[in-house]
Structure 1
Amino acid sequence: MKVALIHATTTALKPIEEAFRKVAPEIELLHFMDTYLLSMLEKSGSLTPEIARRFSKLVTLAAEAKPDCIQLTCSAFNPLTAILQPLYGVKMFRSDEAMLDEALLFERIGLISTVKETPAALIDYLQEKQPDCTIESVVDPGIIHLLFEGKQSEHDERVREMIEAMDGKVDVIVLSQYSMAHVAEQVQTTSPLLIAPEATALRCFQYILQK
């Protein structure tokens, strides 16, 4: 069993590897990464044709490795799955769909993000699946770069502040990126707190078993 993982940041590596080791250690993980994609997205503010073409190169490399499925790990690029899926014979999963499907069991959903372009990608998915859901979004743009600079304590503190500000105002809180998953262990909330890595690994494993 093989899963190809497509990354735009190094911060996704540890959370998703740990999740697969816990859920399905027998799955071989193949990593395909292009960190320049996030820089392109931050400069453009949207998913441009240039970004789509560059991203598709990663998908092509991943597909050529003949995995059982392809899994994205960066939520800001999720809309590209619908565009690129018809071009490949291997199933491609969004980074967050398993987590968001769980969030849709609740009426009022809170999104916490550290990349400015991320919320729109998640909100589109949620509203397409359930138009009546209520969504509150809080974003602290760019603080993901604190992780790149080795300032994890400062990053985690600012994420905790967003969580604490939203807690109790929604029915469920979603940590929108893999890079924030570890912060869930640092807080206690009255609202359920969802993270993506383990839900993602479980969905990939279940998909492979059903093939």
Structure 2
Amino acid sequence: MKIACIHATTTAVAPIENAFREAAADVELLHLMDTGLLALMEEKGELTPDIIRRFSLLLNLAAESRVDCIQLTCSAFNNVTAVLQPLYSAKIFRSDEAMLDEALSYERIGLVSTVRETPIALLSYLNEKKPDVQVESLVEPGLIYLLFQGKKEEHDERVRKMVHQLDGKVDVIVLSQYSMEHLAEQLQPSVPLLTAPKASVRRCMAYLQQLSK
């Protein structure tokens, strides 16, 4: 099986790669990336036609490589799947859908995000699935860039503070970016803490196994 992973940041590569290697070491992964997309998204503040066309270039490369499915890894671009899925035969998975479906089993959901546009994409999915869902969202716009600058400790400490701020106010806490995956084992809130990479891999592999029957 061949799976394409579509990235907008370098920080998402290791988390999804590790998750696939743990669950299905024999899967062939194709990594496709445009690191300029996130800055463009932050500049425009929404999915513009130009951003969608640019994103589609990565999907075209995946389709031309005859992959079995496509896994996105950047939450800010999740809503592009609704626009572009009809153009491709390969299934396109949002970066967070498996994690959010799990979160929806709780009454009150806390979102921790480090990119301004991420809560918009996550909230639209949650509200579509469960219109009366209660969501408490904390976001520090641009915090993810500390990782690009080598300021991992500062990034991690500020994420910890957001998690601590939500703890006790919600029933589950969601770490919205793949770049926060490494914090999952360090944080010990009083409520469940969800991250996307492993949940995404489980959803992806279940789909492919069903497809092969």
Question: What interval of TM-score do these two structures reach, taking the shorter chain for normalisation?
Answer: over 0.9
Partner-residue secondary structure (3-state), 2:185: helix
Q: Could you list the runs of 5+ residues in structure 1 that have no partner in the other structure?
A: none
Q: How many residue pairs end up in the alignment?
A: 211
Alignment match, 1:148: 148
Q: Which amino acid in structure 1 is aligned with residue 166 of structure 2?
A: M
Matched residues in 1 for 2:187 and 2:210: separation?
A: 36
Alignment match, 1:112: 112
Matched residues in 1 for 2:165 and 2:209: separation?
A: 40
Alignment match, 1:80: 80
Matched residues in 1 for 2:42 and 2:187: separation?
A: 29
Alignment match, 1:167: 167
How far residue 26 of structure 1 moved from its aligned partner, in angstroms, is 1.3
Matched residues in 2 for 1:143 and 1:75: separation?
A: 14
TM-score computed with the length of structure 2 as normaliser: 0.98
Alignment match, 2:134: 134
How far residue 183 of structure 1 moved from its aligned partner, in angstroms, is 1.0
Write out per-residue CA displacement over residues 96-145 of structure 1, whole angstroms, 9 at most, x where no aligned residue.
00000000000100000000010010000001001111000000110100
Q: Which amino acid in structure 2 is aligned with residue 76 of structure 1?
A: A
1:18 has 2:18 as partner: yes
How far residue 24 of structure 1 moved from its aligned partner, in angstroms, is 1.1
Conservation of the 8 A alpha-carbon contact between 1:24 and 1:202: no
Matched residues in 1 for 2:143 and 2:74: separation?
A: 15
Matched residues in 2 for 1:187 and 1:34: separation?
A: 30
Write out per-residue CA displacement over residues 12-57 of structure 1, whole angstroms, 9 at most, x where no aligned residue.
0010011111111111110010000001001111111110000001
Alignment match, 2:203: 203
Matched residues in 1 for 2:68 and 2:25: separation?
A: 15
Matched residues in 2 for 1:23 and 1:156: separation?
A: 26
Misfit runs of 4+, over 3 Å? none
Q: Which amino acid in structure 1 is aligned with residue 130 of structure 2?
A: Q
Matched residues in 2 for 1:91 and 1:42: separation?
A: 27
Partner-residue secondary structure (3-state), 1:186: coil
Matched residues in 2 for 1:124 and 1:148: separation?
A: 28
Give % identity. 66
Matched residues in 2 for 1:72 and 1:119: separation?
A: 16
How far residue 184 of structure 1 moved from its aligned partner, in angstroms, is 1.3
Q: Which amino acid in structure 2 is aligned with residue 112 of structure 1?
A: V
Partner-residue secondary structure (3-state), 2:184: helix
